[in-house]
Structure 1
Amino acid sequence: NKEIVILPGPPMEMEAVFMEALKHITLPPKMFSRTIGFLDLTEPEVEDFTEEMLSRFSGVKFVTRVRYFSGPTVILSASDESVLEEVCRLFSERWKGYIYTTSGEELVEVVVKGLREKNLTISVAESCSGGRLSALLTSVPGVSDVFSGGIVSYSNESKMSLLKVSENSLSQHGAVSEEVAFEMAAGTSRLFGTDVGLSVTGIAGPSGGSDLKPVGLVCSAVRIVDSIETYTDRFKGARETIQLRAASTVLKRLWRLFWNEYYIE
């Protein structure tokens, strides 16, 4: 509970400067901050709304940032914490289906928290992402209470032997297809005995693409209890970028399904 004042100046002048300066120094008020994270919105959309809304709150400052693999964030600061709470409430009221945090957590932390709150366990099956989805989940301390394990089933043989993907699906639709992603998500849930199963299969490049299935094509699936949703995306960028975007997009989809809670009777 002590105040520390640091002043520049030559040693001979320090004492006089110090004593005089202390008469005029006032400490800034204590500042509070909130960080709001968004999904499926662009930074200009968020920034325009923030500028318009904060015109009513002169004491609140903000800056926007983009978390590359999740989405835009708004960092708010003010000396009155109750004002920040009101601002967060207004944000949630306007963008309630797009906000995953108002306290700065990473998306994966919110997903893991959601799994705990719903008493659900999770496992993953990956191909093109090469374990990056598992790495994201295991970056959260204590995730072992919900995360059972993951499989990097890179070859067709491993998909069939470990995840029980049918040979017919692979031959008829190819490894990069929603049909195979569906069976991979079901297979990892069955293998690890989990409530939630995530899967990713695609072409990370730089080679391996075709006119029908170009580099960056990624199919994924999210299984929650008895429901499975499948998706197809096209990502651009270098190999690592495609892998990271594929993994993070599956987490986005899981969060959104949690938010909708369509699978709960």
Structure 2
Amino acid sequence: MKTFGISEKDIYSILGDLIKNKYKILFLTYPNNLEVSIVIRYNSNLDSSIINDIIVKVYERLNKYIYAEEEVSIGQRVVDLLNISNRKLSIAETMTGGNISSTLIKQCPKLTNLIKENIVCINDNSLINRLKVSPTILNQYGRVSVEVAYEMAAGLLETSGDLVLVTCGDIDYEDNDKVGKLCYIAVGDTDGIHVYKNVLYGTREQVIDSLTQTAFYYLIKNIKQNDLFFDKTTV
């Protein structure tokens, strides 16, 4: 299974009693940036009820972090869920500079079936003219704010409908991996818009990659929460 947003150390802490089991069931973890792959190995002769009980407990404890049962990238999981839910995504990016759509294209060459629109907003004019962000909001709260992230998503929804994903952060920042970069992610549809605050560390490339992956994670949560037919047996 694949998790996002939880460290390998915290996984071992949460699953400690399950890892120290008497059935010689092995838990192997493979961290990669903000993701961790968890592989559970056991003897094929072990009673299925025992392993099923272990797996259920793992899901109960790590449910909000698990985005896939199998070994799949988080970008591919987004593509899979968009296909299953028959939804089209519209994207507006500032800090990620087009990396979200670029990553999805690598996962699915026929992305036109899944993406309705992608906008890269590099200045205030594009925010105001295309996404209808209020100049008053921009002046009062600044380009990197929860208010602007919300308005970006609302403006995109107004013209693009179905499902929107927004990254809001400063595209012109010092490439210093010791200083945290403030950014916001907005995910929404006609049922509502959610804005998430993030502070990321690393080089410019690392921050863009981490923000892209985090945006995918919140998008997956939105799709799964709003489509009741999704459960851990189907995704």
Q: Do both proteins adopt the same fold according to a TM-score greater than 0.5, normalized to the shorter chain? A: yes
SS in 2 for 1:175: coil
Q: How many residues align?
A: 222
How far apart are residue 146 of structure 1 and its match? Answer: 1.8
Tell me how large the CA RMSD over aligned residues is.
2.9
Q: 1:109 to 1:56 in 2, by over 3 A?
A: farther
Q: CA deviation at 1:104?
A: 1.3
Among candidates 13, 36, 44, match of residue 72 of structure 1: 36
Task: Please show how residues 94-173 of structure 1 align to structure 2 within 5 Å.
Answer: 94-141=61-108, 142-173=110-141
| 1:110 partner amino acid | R
Identity among equivalent positions (%) equals 24
Secondary structure, counterpart of 2:168 in structure 1: strand
- Bigger CA drift: 255-264 or 226-235? 255-264
- Does the 8 Å CA contact 1:204/1:242 hold for their aligned counterparts? no
CA positional deviation for 1:206: 4.2
Q: SS of the residue aligned with 2:130? A: helix
Q: TM-score, normalised by structure 1?
A: 0.72
Query: Is the 8 Å Cα contact of residues 94 and 171 (structure 2) preserved in structure 1?
Result: no
| C-alpha separation in 2, matches of 1:231 and 1:185 | 12
Which of 155, 161, 166 pairs up with 1:187? 155
2:2 paired with 1:37:
yes
**Paired letter, 2:121:** S
1:208/1:110 Cα in 2 relative to 1: closer, same or farther (>3 Å)? closer
- Cα 1:116–1:251, aligned 2, differ >3 Å: closer, same or farther? same
Question: How much does 1:157 deviate?
Answer: 0.8
- Aligned ranges for residues 1-265 of structure 1 at < 5 Å? 36-50=1-15, 52-54=17-19, 55-58=21-24, 60-69=25-34, 71-78=35-42, 80=44, 86=52, 87-141=54-108, 142-191=110-159, 193-203=160-170, 206-207=173-174, 216-261=181-226
Query: Conserved in 2, the CA contact under 8 Å of 1:122 and 1:189?
Result: no
Distance 2:87 2:189 in 1: 9
Q: 1:78 to 1:187 in 2, by over 3 A?
A: same
Aligned equivalents of 1:183 and 1:262: distance in 2? Answer: 25
Q: Deviations over 1:46-87 (max 9, x none)?
A: 2345563252332x4442111214x22212344629859625
Tell me the residue number matched to 2:233.
none
SS at match of 1:139: helix
Q: Which runs of 5+ in 2 are unaligned?
A: 230-235
1:183 alignment partner AA: E
How many Å apart are 1:189 and its aligned residue? 3.0
Higher relative contact order (CA 8 A, sep 6+): 2
Letter in 2 for 1:65: Y
Give the number of the structure whose alpha-carbon radius of gyration is greater. 1
Q: Report the CA distance shift for 1:169/1:262 in structure 2 as closer, same or farther (over 3 A).
A: farther
How has the CA–CA distance of structure 1 residues 231 and 262 changed in structure 2, closer, same or farther, with 3 Å as cutoff? farther
Structure 1: tracts of 5 or more residues without a match: 1-35
Q: Which SS does the other structure have where 2:80 is aligned?
A: helix
Structure 2 CA distance for partners of 1:230 and 1:50, relative to 1, 3 Å: closer
The 1:239–1:73 alpha-carbon spacing in structure 2 relative to 1, beyond 3 Å, is same
TM-score by length of 2: 0.80
Given that residues 88 and 115 in structure 2 are in contact (C-alpha distance below 8 angstroms), is that contact kept between their aligned partners in structure 1? yes
Cα offset for 1:43?
Answer: 0.8
